[in-house]
Amino acid sequence: MSTTTPVVVQIFGTVCLDKVRIIDEFPKVLGTFTTVSKEINTLGGEATNSFVILSDWIKELVNGKQQQQQLSLENVILISSPLVNDITGQLIKKRLESYPNKYLTIVEPSDDCILKITNTTDLYICNLKERTMFGIGFIEMDQYLYDNRDQFLKNIKFGPEYWISLDFNTPLISKVIMDKAIETKTNLYVMDQELFLNDSHHNQENIQEMNIVYQTSTDFFGNKGDRESILQSVRQWLDNGNQKHCFIIVTDSKNGYAIGGQLYNKEKKQKEFIQVQWRESITLDPSLVQDTTGAGDSFRAGFLYSFILNQSSLNDSLLFASISGAFNCRYLTGCD
């Protein structure tokens, strides 16, 4: 493990309220009735989940004085999607008060503002631990971010010593951020977004002198449970122009995950090739699984923490990420 000062990881993206409802099973016929046995309101959103998990780990290390590096909460920053100044927005703001290193934008609702309410997700979790989600306000949130992109870009630090992580719900502004990141050789960790790396205006040398980690799942790649189809989809993706300069992770829940591509070694000043391969997931006894919400966000947090902040080996970091994703399933919701 390196003893150099850890870099700064900036997590940009979705902060929302999750309204979680536990049911026995989903209705088999439209128009029928299902009883909700339990309901809880929690912090949600991909960015929130990864940020809170990372921050809680660092807090425990700082309090326990177990760290071997000068790692602090200053090394992780949340740059959140905007919150409306309504009951939900104020609740989220209060829940995040104990996490100081963040940028929260509070928007006053008005007739001429596209944002009317703070993002909210209704999650229904059945006895099979499967979930269905209904979201409100996400499309408007993404448009608001794009329309006010200069305001939000001011909160982001760009340069080779920084990392920016993006999630699925902000495609409009994420493309702007990715363009700026490539222009400045800022390292990227992207979840489920299209990367647009083959756009003609990108500097080819810059793409080869930065890290681009792409985490996605079998919701988008290959077929669930079909290892060969997943590996083949990864090979095809890496064979598409500048995407060969990325390191890709495709998770398939408890079935395992595929990896491959390239990572930039700053000391050697060159990319290192990682063969496309399959890794087994760390799994829990099914009786311990409560909810899979946020498992991918926890996997991301594990990789960011181990590989980027602690500069552990790739093998150790992937193992830690897999453990993080699995253990998060012991609880309801992603982080709260």
Please answer whether residues 83 and 92 qualify as being in contact, where contact means their C-beta atoms are separated by less than 8 angstroms: yes
| 62: confidence class by pLDDT, cuts 50, 70, 90 | low
- Summarised one tens digit per residue, pLDDT across range 249-306 is 999 999 999 999 999 998 899 999 999 999 999 888 888 887 777 889 999 999 999 9
Does the pLDDT value for residue 128 go beyond 80?
A: no
pLDDT value at residue 1: 42
Does the pLDDT value for residue 159 go beyond 80?
A: yes
- Mean pLDDT score, 205-230: 95
Which residues, in sequence order, are CB contacts of 53 under 8 Å at separation 6+?
297, 298, 301, 324, 328, 335
Bridge pairing between strands 76-80 and 8-13: parallel
Does the pLDDT value for residue 65 go beyond 60?
A: no
Does the pLDDT value for residue 169 go beyond 90?
A: yes
Please tell me the least confidently modeled range out of 142-151, 171-180, 187-196, 325-334: 325-334
Does the pLDDT value for residue 164 go beyond 80?
A: yes
Does the pLDDT value for residue 109 go beyond 60?
A: yes
Does the pLDDT value for residue 327 go beyond 90?
A: no
pLDDT value at residue 284: 80
Does the pLDDT value for residue 3 go beyond 50?
A: no
d(CA 245, CA 197) in angstroms, rounded, equals 10
Which residues, in sequence order, are CB contacts of 292 under 8 Å at separation 6+?
129, 130, 131, 253, 329
pLDDT value at residue 334: 65
- Mean pLDDT score, 130-137: 89
pLDDT value at residue 2: 45
Please answer whether residues 8 and 161 qualify as being in contact, where contact means their C-beta atoms are separated by less than 8 angstroms: yes
Does the pLDDT value for residue 15 go beyond 50?
A: yes
Q: What is the CATH number of domain 8-15+46-108+149-330?
A: 3.40.1190.20
| 205: confidence class by pLDDT, cuts 50, 70, 90 | very high
What percent of the chain shows pLDDT beyond 90?
A: 75
Mean pLDDT of the chain: 91
d(CA 170, CA 259) in angstroms, rounded, equals 25
Does the pLDDT value for residue 211 go beyond 50?
A: yes
- Cα distance from N-terminal residue to C-terminal residue, the chain: 31
- Mean pLDDT score, 63-86: 82
Count of CB atoms within 10 A of residue 312's CB?
Answer: 18
Q: Give the full edge-to-edge strand order of the sheet including 270-279.
A: 102-103, 76-80, 8-13, 162-166, 187-191, 212-217, 247-251, 257-265, 270-279
Please answer whether residues 6 and 24 qualify as being in contact, where contact means their C-beta atoms are separated by less than 8 angstroms: no
Residue that the structure tokens 């929690």 belong to = 42
| 51: confidence class by pLDDT, cuts 50, 70, 90 | very high
pLDDT value at residue 199: 87
d(CA 8, CA 152) in angstroms, rounded, equals 17
pLDDT value at residue 69: 56
The residue among 2 and 25 whose pLDDT is bigger is 25
pLDDT value at residue 224: 92
Please answer whether residues 10 and 156 qualify as being in contact, where contact means their C-beta atoms are separated by less than 8 angstroms: yes
State how far the alpha carbon of 147 is from the alpha carbons of 111, 113, 153, in Å: 16, 11, 12
pLDDT value at residue 329: 78
